[in-house]
A and B are shown apart, each in its own frame.
Chain A
Amino acid sequence: MVIKITDHVTRCHTNNDGEKIFNLIKPLIDKGNKVELSFNGIDSITSSFVNSAFIELLQYFEFSHIRSRLNFISTNKSINQIIRKRFKFETEDRQKLELREAI
């Protein structure tokens, strides 16, 4: 299923923008659907948007499940980098940070 982001938000900059997208895609992934999110018409995103729209999914699904069910299309280099970097940190580096804090 393809969801065009600009049908639902006019920008991808705030937590609120992200929450709207999260509320669209989470029920679809719950039902086992594959979701393709189209960024057509969007040229920039922020970390707040990515956190609220996508990183929040890690509270409900394994990363491997998210990767198998969620894809992004009509993106640019900057958007791809921010999404990949955020997921990498939250799935690999945050644990190291928390372990270091615990010690």
Chain B
Amino acid sequence: MEIFLPDHFDRNSMYSFISDIIYEDNRPKNKEIILNFSSLEFIKPSGITILHNIIQWLLRQNVKVYVDLPDLSKIADNRNSVTYLDDSGFFEYYLKKRQFENSHVRPTTIPLKNVTFEEYYSWLDNTLVAWLAHSLQIADTSGFSGLKTCIGEIFNNIKDHSGEKIGCVFAQHYPANNEIEIAISDFGVGIPCQIRKKFDCKNDAEALELAIKEGYTTKSLPTNRGAGLENLLGFVLGYNGGRIYIHSNKGKLECHVAGSEKVIKSDNSEQFYPGTLVLIKLRTDTIYEEPDEEDFSW
């Protein structure tokens, strides 16, 4: 079956795309799926990780996935979504070669990558933090401690709760907005699936709200204590003033600050997202903390 990608692909438009591909009971609709890119006009960083994640999920279900690209010779505009995808490394990953001769990783992005739990820390230091430090012209990278903790919390969450040990990562810097977007997605069982095994929640949105509260843990490890996502919120909302969006199974969560108050909005979608997408939007003016030593006191 042939599926046309949405003209604007992001975390909001993904549900119609997913409903074309996956039944409500979480089965693929066909054993062969052709993804037609001709309708795609614009894709956000979250859209790239979502698309990558869905393809990974389909391949895991033994679905044959084909890519149908528009006539590349007629694409002259370098703002086109296909060139953006090519620059991200998307086609190199799946088709083993870049589609345009002048394709290159843009300085405002890092390459799309599947990052395993074992390698995330070196990727964090050598790729994400190094790229960000270069983009923001900061020489001493030790002041990115809050960001590093955030990424660590997300990968610990993937390892402990998703049943997978791999996350797909893509990030973009928007210098004009003083903002970076980091999208991390896994195709594991999803946070609500795990939470609802232990806690009585009426839906996936409620399960996500519970997952970000300190102290609520599925005890997937004896030492787990339900602090990781709360710690993630602590930096992004409390220190940085950024935003977090989580999509997992049928749950959607949006967190930001208004004044000094944390605003948490949850909702249920009709369509199931196979896994978890965490999108964090961080302000670049508050992402860096001066790495001064501070005496510890109880």
Contact = CB atoms under 8 A, between A and B. Distances in A.
Nearest to A96: B215
For A11, A44, A89, which residue has the most chain B Cβ atoms within 10 angstroms?
A44
Nearest to A72: B296
Contact of A77 (B141, B227, B230, B289): B289
Interface in B204-230: 214-215, 221, 223-225, 227-228, 230
Contacts of B289: 76-78
Contact of A46 (B215, B228, B292): B228
Contacts of A78: 145-146, 149, 235, 289
B149 A46 contact: yes
B294 interface: yes
Interface string A34-78: 000000000111111011100110000000000100011111111
A50 B296 CA distance: 15
B152 interface: yes
B227 to A, nearest CB: 4
Given A13-B152, A82-B231, A90 B296 contact: no
Secondary structure call for the B interface: helix
A49 B90 CA distance: 34
Contacts of B225: 47, 51, 55, 86, 90, 94
B243 interface: no
Nearest to B148: A44
A23 B233 CA distance: 30
A76 B291 contact: yes
Given A47-B231, A55-B223, A77 B156 contact: no
Given A56-B223, A89-B215, A80 B149 contact: no
A56 B295 CA distance: 23
A12 to B, nearest CB: 9
A101 B183 CA distance: 34
Contact of B296 (A13, A73, A85): A73
Contact of A76 (B152, B160, B293): B293
Contacts of A51: 223-225, 227
A94 to B, nearest CB: 6
Interface string B154-179: 01100110000000000000000000
Contacts of B295: 73, 75
B227 A89 contact: yes
A28 B141 CA distance: 34
Contacts of A48: 152-153, 156, 160, 223-224, 228
B133 to A, nearest CB: 12
A31 interface: no
B142 interface: yes
B296 A14 contact: no
Contact of B294 (A18, A76, A97): A76
Interface of A: 11, 13-15, 18-19, 43-48, 50-52, 55-56, 67, 71-80, 82-87, 89-90, 93-94, 97
- 9 smallest CB-CB distances across A and B, nearest first, come from A44-B148, A47-B227, A46-B152, A44-B145, A72-B296, A43-B142, A13-B152, A78-B145, A48-B156
Given A15-B156, A85-B234, 16 more contacts: A13-B121, A15-B221, A15-B224, A43-B143, A44-B149, A46-B228, A47-B231, A48-B156, A50-B227, A51-B224, A51-B227, A56-B223, A76-B289, A78-B235, A82-B149, A94-B215
Interface of B: 121, 141-146, 148-149, 152-153, 155-156, 159-160, 214-215, 221, 223-225, 227-228, 230-231, 234-235, 289, 291-296, 298
